[in-house]
Amino acid sequence: MAEKARRLFAKRLKQFRERRGLTQQELAERAGLDYKHLQTLEGKNPPNITVDSVEKLAKALSVSIPDLFRP
């Protein structure tokens, strides 16, 4: 179950980032995260993510946290 949620999060994160015309580097800077970390979060086998990082990314993308996990 957790793996499925991480993959859904990765897919949604990339979708929102691309819709806003942001590169991974730009989103990482806006969210205050390391660029390499963001790369792994959008990858095929994303790692666990902290609540703090989810909050930062949602804020940087101007979306709600649940939006990042909805199919």
Domain extent for 55: 2-69
pLDDT at 46: 93
Q: Residues 20, 61: contact at Cβ < 8 Å?
A: yes
Banded pLDDT at 2 (limits 50, 70, 90): confident
pLDDT > 80? residue 1: no
What contacts 39, CB < 8 A, 6 or more positions away? 24
2-6, 16-20, 53-57: least confidently modelled range: 2-6
Number of domains in the chain: 1
pLDDT > 70? residue 44: yes
Q: Residues 68, 46: contact at Cβ < 8 Å?
A: no
For residue 52, the domain's CATH number is 1.10.260.40
pLDDT > 70? residue 35: yes
User: Can you tell me the mean pLDDT for 8-28?
Assistant: 97
Mean confidence (pLDDT) of the chain: 95
3-state percent helix, strand, coil for the chain, nearest multiple of 5: 70, 0, 30
